[in-house]
């Protein structure tokens, strides 16, 4: 932790793969969380070669008047890491937050993450509680 310059703009990077069902809620909730920040912000949605209508929904959202959404469309499925890196190469904010498109990580946590970063922390993370995973998934998660 050190005395850093205040965060002026927040970039939220979200890789998307076949998430047409969750996208409207994801966009609504992430936008609401970002609007509460009192800072400039942008949401970068990176379509990782989806075969559903995810890309179309993203482009439509980014074309709405006053939208802070940037849509990046990859020509095939490169994987989550590559999609995140593609988003990183297009951010304009001085703080980057990554989220999963399936809403495993609630967008409502964005203001808390930004507040901690504003305190001067270089890296801020979260830990999910009350997971609803299967017994197998819980066991595998504890072993890694």
pLDDT tens string for the chain (144 positions)? 556 678 999 999 999 999 999 999 999 999 999 999 999 999 999 999 999 999 999 999 999 999 999 999 999 999 999 999 999 999 999 999 999 999 999 999 999 999 999 998 788 877 766 656 566 655 555 544
Give the number of C-alpha atoms closer than 13 A to the C-alpha of residue 73, restricted to the C-beta side: 13
The conformation of residue 34, written as its DSSP 8-state character, comes to H
Domains belonging to the chain, first-starting first, are: 9-142 (3.90.550.10)
CA distances from 94 to 19, 30, 115 (A): 27, 18, 14
């Amino acid at each position: 932790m050190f005395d850093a310059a205040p965060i002026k703009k927040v970039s939220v990077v979200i890789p998307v793969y076949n998430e047409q069902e969750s996208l409207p809620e994801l966009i609504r909730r992430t936008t609401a969380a970002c609007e509460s920040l009192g800072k400039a912000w942008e949401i970068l949605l990176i379509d990782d070669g989806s075969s559903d209508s995810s890309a179309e929904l993203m482009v439509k959202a980014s074309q709405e008047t006053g939208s802070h959404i940037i849509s990046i469309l990859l020509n095939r499925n490169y994987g989550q890491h590559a999609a995140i890196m593609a988003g990183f190469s297009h951010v304009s904010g001085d703080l980057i937050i990554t989220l999963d498109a399936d809403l495993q990580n609630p967008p409502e946590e964005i203001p808390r993450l930004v507040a901690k970063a504003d305190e001067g922390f270089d890296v801020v993370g979260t830990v999910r509680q009350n997971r609803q995973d299967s017994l197998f998934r819980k066991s595998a998660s504890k072993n890694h």
